[in-house]
Amino acid sequence: MRIRQGEFERIHTVLTDADADEPLTAREILNVLDEYGEEFDSAHQVATVLGRHAETDEVEVIRDQPYRYRFQDGS
Which pLDDT belongs to residue 1? 52
Q: Please state the pTM of the whole predicted model.
A: 0.87
More reliable by pLDDT, 30 or 21: 30
The CA-atom distances, in angstroms, between 16 and each of 21, 26, 36, 47, 50 are 8, 15, 12, 17, 15
Q: Is position 36 within any domain?
A: yes
Domain count, the chain: 1
Domain extent for 51: 7-59
Residue 32 above 90 pLDDT?
yes
Residue 65 forms part of a structural domain: no
Note the pLDDT tens digit of each residue in 20-29.
889 999 999 9
Q: Tell whether 72 is covered by a domain.
A: no
